Amino acid sequence: MERVILRNVDREDSHRIDVYLKHGGYQAFRKVLKEFSPQDVIEEIKRSGLRGRGGAGFPTGLKWEFAAADFKEPKYFVCNADEGEPCTFKDRMIIEKDPHALIEGMLIGAYATGCSVGYIYLRGEYPIGKRILLQAIEEARERGFLGENILGSDFSFDIHIHSGAGAYICGEETALIESLEGKRGEPRIKPPFPVNAGFMWKPTVVNNVETLANVPVIIERGAEWYSSIGSPDCPGPKLYSVSGKVKKPGVYELPMGTPLEEIIFEHAGGIKEDRKLKAVFPGGASSCVLTADEIHVKMDFPSLAKAGTMLGSGAVMVLDETDCIVKAALRLLKFFRHESCGKCAPCREGTDWIVRILYRIENGKGSEDDLETIVTISETMENSFCGLGMAAHNPAVSTVKKFRDEYLKHIALKRCPFKE
């Protein structure tokens, strides 16, 4: 497939504005300023079918329409670059290799929604990305793409970078906004959604890096062309971060809806040392596990939801026959226990209890009752305040359901069968 999102990344100095301009960069934004009303941009994005690539898949055009319809001022345009989901490293590639595509996407989005101030909330662990983005923003200002009365129009917009400090929860958009306001990063109740009451309680669009990198090319080549890629009900290209026991881990740009089997065995080269595939977490740490028999599934939002899991950020984590499923679930739950912000009890206590139980089972001290307890705790965690707690139990409860025999083996042997 022709590369769309990653079309620029292999060029030498792809992060510099001269290289970007030489290959058609900022033409989409110029076209928008000249030929499109804000409503035209929103219609084009709606017709393209673009859905948010951060993980939830909310229709981008609709989000922009909601923000445009709110006339409180000022309005803010925020790029969520706090890529914290374990094994997710797709946005990093855009930030480091094609930062001007991100800036151009933000410019077009801000024009469409009437935003005058932009923020990139950048993962604290991306210092190279920060340096590159700062340089790119400065270059864009020097060439007149950011600032007052851009390219002689009455549209003004500038972008500032805010670095995160390593908290996973700050990738949740309302916690991100709290953090941007200088407060402790804890989620707010939704609704109201940020499009109406976000940063400083003003209308705020929050879009993921990959989502925004799609925008210039949609304007350049049109919604019809864009929506011909991928699944009809979920179009466009998608970046998949593939890691774990594959021969060629990495970021793969493929049509949305590419079968998981094809991603693992064709693009990522199959399983290391030609071992047997055991399990896959198809959408990051909070997705439900799939067994080797379930990998014919299409990797898009609706197909994975139908399969009882989710696409999330598109982080494909592959386990082979030598991996212990209990240990894998324990690792993921330990991550969530550490990253739970502690605001609500179901998540704060639930993650801790599940870690204790998994630890017990992995170390030969578990009982069959523990499996039912994990299921009960997860039901309570469904009532958590935000998405982190609502999904954190997924790796535990889904592995208990699909790999019950392996859990029972740990309990019967009173040790991990993978440790001799």
230 interacts with ligand NAI by CB under 6 A: no
Considering only CA atoms, which of 59, 135, 88 is closest in space to residue 302? 59
214 interacts with ligand NAI by CB under 6 A: no
66 binds, among ligand NAI, ligand SF4, none (CB under 5 to 8 A by kind): ligand NAI
DSSP code at position 266? I
Judged by CB under 6 A, the residue of 169, 290, 295, 374 near ligand SF4 is 169
Considering only CA atoms, which of 389, 252, 255 is closest in space to residue 316? 252
Residue with tokens 């077009």: 108
| Residue with smallest beta-carbon separation from ligand NAI | 55
What amino acid is encoded at 357 in this protein? I
Task: Give 290-298's long-range contacts (Cβ < 8 A, gap of 24+).
Answer: 290/260, 291/402, 291/403, 295/259, 295/260, 295/261, 295/264, 296/259, 296/260, 296/261, 297/259, 297/260, 298/231, 298/257, 298/258, 298/259, 298/260
- Distance of alpha carbon 73 from alpha carbon 76, whole angstroms: 9
| Residue 282 DSSP SS3 | strand
Q: How far is the CB of 382 from ligand SF4 (least distance, A)?
A: 11
Judged by CB under 6 A, the residue of 112, 285, 332, 341 near ligand SF4 is 341
- Distance of alpha carbon 193 from alpha carbon 289, whole angstroms: 30
DSSP code at position 218? H
Taking residues 253 to 292 in sequence order and writing x for each that binds ligand NAI by CB under 6 A, - otherwise, the string is ------------------------------xx--------
DSSP H or E run through 120: strand 117-122
387 interacts with ligand NAI by CB under 6 A: yes
Q: How far is the CB of 45 from ligand NAI (least distance, A)?
A: 14
- Distance of alpha carbon 274 from alpha carbon 268, whole angstroms: 12
- Distance of alpha carbon 62 from alpha carbon 244, whole angstroms: 36
Taking residues 318 to 337 in sequence order and writing x for each that binds ligand SF4 by CB under 6 A, - otherwise, the string is --------------------
Region 247-286 residues binding ligand SF4, contact defined as CB under 6 A: none
How many angstroms from the chain centroid is the CA of residue 128? 20
Judged by CB under 6 A, the residue of 21, 43, 47, 66 near ligand NAI is 66
* Closest to ligand SF4 by CB, 8 or 351: 351
Q: How far is the CB of 230 from ligand NAI (least distance, A)?
A: 18
Q: How far is the CB of 332 from ligand SF4 (least distance, A)?
A: 15
Taking residues 355 to 394 in sequence order and writing x for each that binds ligand SF4 by CB under 6 A, - otherwise, the string is -----------------------------xxx-xx-----
- Distance of alpha carbon 65 from alpha carbon 57, whole angstroms: 16
Angle at 342 between CA 329 and CA 316, to 5 degrees: 30
Q: How far is the CB of 226 from ligand SF4 (least distance, A)?
A: 34
Q: Where are the beta strands (DSSP E) in 282-362?
A: 290-291, 315-320
* Closest to ligand NAI by CB, 204 or 258: 204
Sequence-distant (6+) residues with CB within 8 A of 145 are 26, 29, 103, 104, 107, 151
Judged by CB under 6 A, the residue of 9, 19, 56, 151 near ligand NAI is 56
Q: How far is the CB of 392 from ligand SF4 (least distance, A)?
A: 7
Judged by CB under 6 A, the residue of 41, 206, 330, 347 near ligand SF4 is 347
> Segment near ligand SF4 (CB under 6 A), from 80-88, 189-197, 344-352, 403-411?
344-352
Q: Which residues of the chain form contacts with ligand NAI (CB under 6 A)?
A: 52, 54-56, 58, 63, 66, 83-85, 88, 171-173, 193-195, 206, 283-284, 310, 312-313, 387
Q: Which residues of the chain form contacts with ligand SF4 (CB under 6 A)?
A: 169, 187, 340-344, 347-348, 384-386, 388-389
